[in-house]
Amino acid sequence: MSLQRQREPGRPGHLGGVDKRLTDKEERARLRAVREENRRIKYVSASTSSASYEPLQEDASSNSSENMDSEDFPTLIQSSEPGTNKSVMRKDFITPKLVAALDRCELSMRDSVFILEATIDALGCNIDEFPISKSSIQRNRTEKRKERAENIKIDFQNKVPDVVTLHSDGKLLPALSARKSK
């Protein structure tokens, strides 16, 4: 009986002093739970007010408006978990051109996150509205690379050239025609 009481929070059967480490640990856990609850309440109130969201306006003189797809605009994503009705506003701002630039500069996923956060902050936008993490950047870059590869394959199949030159490691391979070899 007394052993079970010693295992209870606060250890009522223990005659020693207060365990400072345990007390501090319990206080941190309590504060963490309170902060998480406040964050959850703030998120729910923000998601209910997301219906009044207006996308950013672009210049009418911008010549990039011809290449805009529907995927460049923010989309409302419903949670797929059963029992939750939370919706998240997601701005899909990573374009194939941005992916090509990040790949060309050979930036790692982590460096890409830093640069994108700094760019969004410099433009005066709220960073919390954009899905910026290593995993989301990697997922978007992979998707855009696959889309680009599929587009190249389709273009190549539609317009098959008469002569194709294959380069390996930047070197021109010798001609492989059967007529010249004896």
Which tens digits make up the pLDDT trace of 20-70? 888 899 999 999 999 999 998 888 887 776 544 444 444 444 444 444 444
Range from 93-102, 156-165, 172-181 that averages highest in pLDDT: 93-102
Length of the chain: 182
Which residues lie closer than 8 Å to 148 by C-beta, 6 or more apart? 96, 99, 100
pLDDT in tens, 71-102: 444 444 444 455 444 445 567 788 889 998 99
Averaged pLDDT of the chain: 74
- What CA–CA distance (Å, rounded) separates 59 from 122? 18
The answer to whether 2 touches 13, Cβ cutoff 8 Å, is: yes
User: Phi and psi for 120 in degrees, rounded to 5?
Assistant: -65, -40
Q: Which residue has the higher pLDDT, 111 or 166?
A: 111
Three-state secondary structure string covering 85-143: CCEEEECCCCCHHHHHHHHHCCCCHHHHHHHHHHHHHHCCCCHHHCCCCHHHHHHHHHH
% of the chain with per-residue pLDDT over 70: 63
Which pLDDT does position 142 carry in this prediction? 92
